[in-house]
Amino acid sequence: MQLDPSTGWFQGVSHCPSPNFNARPDGEISLLVVHNISLPPGQFGTGKVQAFFQNRLPLHEHPFFAEIASLQVSAHFFIERDGALTQFVSCLDRAWHAGVSCFDGRDNCNDFSLGVELEGTDDQPYTDAQYARLAELSRQLLDAYPALSAQRIRGHSDIAPGRKTDPGPAFDWPRLHAELKER
């Protein structure tokens, strides 16, 4: 996989363009936010995350889908349990992943962040393949965007405390940081 800096799209990964994005106000990319998602909750490999980020979730298939039907959200990336990576929004654009958020005294983290969704839940361990892919992705993003640093890779819970809990206690932050140091 390789980032094309002129388009903000990675080559060698799946693309599933989402309509849920807009232009970055300043073009700044200085934060990487790690999330988790599974649809239906706690179920993996369903393809429903992709449908959700494209506003095509089949509402009749699960009661939870009706609860989230009005939401228009996306992330830049989604890493499945087997490490498969899908990109939904160009890195150059503003994906709608962080919601009401604040980091380092700045509100509206979507304006200056990239969002990575891990297929998972707060309390189930993430897979080796997910950590490997997240580290690989993070290294390329750190190389491409100088305002990013390992210290500016945070969880959704860090930028929306009290409102969000992901990626949760199951996420092994020391492991990610160790893998990033193995450059």
How far is residue 136 CA from its own chain's centroid?
Answer: 14
pLDDT per residue as tens digits for the range 114-154: 999 999 999 999 999 999 999 999 999 999 999 999 999 99
The residues, ordered by sequence, that sit 6+ positions from 19 with a Cβ below 8 Å of its Cβ are 54, 55, 72
Q: What is the pTM of this model?
A: 0.97
pLDDT per residue as tens digits for the range 30-62: 999 999 999 999 999 999 999 999 999 999 999
Domains of the chain: 2-181 (3.40.80.10)
Q: Which residues are catalytic?
A: 117
